Amino acid sequence: MLETLAQLCESGAEYYRRGWMLATAGNLSVRDRDNADRYHVTASGGHKGRLKPETDFICFSEGMANPQPLGKKSSAETIVHDRVYAEHPNVQSIHHVHSPRITLMSRAIGAGNPWVISDLEYIKALGFWGEGDVVRVPVVPNHHHIPTLGMAVAEAARQDPHVPCVLVEGHGVYAWGDSVAAAQRHIEALEFLADICWEERFRV
């Protein structure tokens, strides 16, 4: 499991280098390789560019029961990860970043409205390979009551199980996949798509 957590640490370092997970922002998680009912999530307050697999993750059973003690506080948004894992048994890793472009896009679109993406090759990186496919990424309100946010993200994720992400207005994006690498691919694809859509939407 340490090898998988090391991969997650590399994702955190890459997101930090790109300015998508600065300071202590964001959180990352992965299912336990040996027990699918358990997952490991970043502890609260850690610098995501300097994560260590042995010290910066807390292990939970699904339902947030019996956390493995590390002497650290769990991320406040652990419950969001918990809800998504419960909603999608095939999801193996969830990444939540606060990139500037995605945050701007979420504000421009507004909660309750989907981010509609079409006619762009990069939607293949999200798993949409059909000619004429359209991706509708849900945007949910930024509920400060985290259990409510968790329910909102889970409900949005239920709308189309093929869409591996949900935007939170003014907050960032949750994206997931069947591996750490897949979740990171989805984050990177969304960033590219956000750049293109932003320029098309607001260019003079």
Q: At what angle do helices 2-17 and 180-202 cross, to 10 degrees?
A: 20
pLDDT digit string (tens) for 102-131? 999 999 999 999 999 999 999 999 999 988
β strands within 10-137, DSSP E: 27-31, 38-42, 57-61, 93-97, 115-118, 134-137
What are 38-81's pLDDT values in tens digits?
899 998 888 889 989 888 888 877 665 555 555 567 778 889 99
Q: What pLDDT is attached to residue 90?
A: 92
The residue assigned the tokens 């935007």 is 167
Range of the domain at 181: 2-202
SS3 content of the chain, % helix, strand, coil (to 5): 40, 20, 40
Contact 200, 133 (CB under 8 A): no
Contacts with 124 (C-beta within 8 Å, 6 or more apart), sequence order: none
Domains in the chain: how many in total? 1
Query: Are the C-beta atoms of residues 167 and 106 closer than 8 Å to each other?
Result: yes
For the cut 90, the answer to whether the pLDDT of residue 172 exceeds it is yes
pLDDT, residue 10, reads: 95
Rounded CA-CA distance 57/69 in Å is 10
pLDDT value at position 204?
Answer: 45
- CATH number assigned to the domain comprising residue 174: 3.40.225.10
